[in-house]
Amino acid sequence: MTFAEFMEAQTRRVDAYLTRVLPPRDTPPTHLHEAIHYTVFAGGKRVRPIMTLIACGALGGDTEACLAGAAAIEMIHVSSLIHDDLPCMDDSDTRRGQPSCHRKFGESTAVLAGDWLLVYPFEIVARAAEEGAFTPDVAARVCATIARGVCTSGIVAGQVLDLEAESRDVTAAELRRIHELKTAALMEACARVGAAIAGAPAQLSDTAARSARALGLCFQVVDDILDVVGDAAVLGKPTGADSENAKSTYVSLHGLDLARDMAAQLAAEARDALDALPDSEWLLRGRQLIDYVVGRSS
């Protein structure tokens, strides 16, 4: 199976699970559930849930039991995208090549769909434990790990720093910190959730988390590069937005060539961390995911 076929197959598994656990789109209030379905199934790459499954599989776990953790993280990610696009944040009209949630459903429904997608994941994880996918102890660890990827050491804190940074120049260290919080923290959570469901010891969870953190930063550097050299049609969003908004990025701070070197260096760090894990088919997929992230065009 090629890596593209692997990604398609895992996306189908994640999407089937999401379809099973989300209330149908015609559930009242329909406007809310239509907005949720619209954004969850808008064609995201599913990098985070697949990373969660890979971490679980590479650490010897049952990836079927891990689907709840993977789907939970994707819902949190989608929630952050909905809120990120709002007029009070990035004010984006499009996302994944389609009207953003608030442009399609109105601002208040978008806020509430984002709220819903931020909380429902915890019910999904608790319910999976009740159904025997993993123990209540593991469910508690998964919930705490996801919350950590969102709150003071995660996405929300990163977004606050990012918004504050809009009105001034930032240092390279500040920019790295913003991206560690905004992007890498949730990727670290993917690795730790996968490890928790696999029942892996702390040392192996830390190793997988180190790789995921480096990959998260690499993902963000590539995002900054694509905003300059990417194809808007492939990306599903306009390019050049960062420079138009005079936003500090890896490219504006370091230049395109150095940003490319940094992405390659971070990908190498992510790969090196994986050397400490036992060889397996899932670990190979992990290595291929790193190659995909650093080489991606969308």
38 phi/psi in degrees, rounded to 5: -55, -45
Interface mask (CB under 6 A) for ligand GRG, residues 229-268, using x and -?
----------------------------------------
Q: Which one of residues 68, 73, 76, 198 is an interface residue with ligand GRG (CB under 6 A)?
A: 76
Distance in angstroms (rounded) separating the CA atoms of residues 293 and 298:
9
Regarding 79 and contact with ligand GRG (CB under 6 A), the answer is yes
Q: How far is CA 272 from CA 34, 269, 290, in A?
A: 43, 5, 11
Which range of residues in 21-29, 44-52, 53-61, 226-234 is near ligand GRG by CB under 6 A?
44-52
45 binds ligand GRG (CB under 6 A): yes
Which of positions 114-173 make contact with ligand GRG (CB under 6 A)?
A: 114, 118, 150, 155-156, 159
Q: What residues from 208 to 227 belong to the interface with ligand GRG (CB under 6 A)? A: 220, 223
Q: Decide if residue 111 touches ligand GRG (CB under 6 A).
A: no
Q: State how far the alpha carbon of 111 is from the alpha carbons of 12, 87, 125, 280, in Å.
A: 28, 11, 23, 42
Binding residues for ligand GRG, rule CB under 6 A, total 21
* 57 touches ligand GRG by CB under 6 A: no
Which helix (DSSP H) or strand (DSSP E) does residue 153 occupy?
none
Half-sphere exposure of residue 160, counting CA atoms within 13 Å on the CB side? 7
Q: Does 200 help bind ligand GRG (rule: CB under 6 A)?
A: no
176 touching ligand GRG, by CB under 6 A: no
Interatomic CA distance for residues 74 and 219, integer angstroms: 16
Our CA dihedral for 157, 158, 163, 164, rounded to 10 degrees, sits at 70
Which residues of the shown chain bind ligand GRG in the complex (CB under 6 A)? 44-45, 47, 76, 79-81, 83-84, 89, 96, 114, 118, 150, 155-156, 159, 182-183, 220, 223
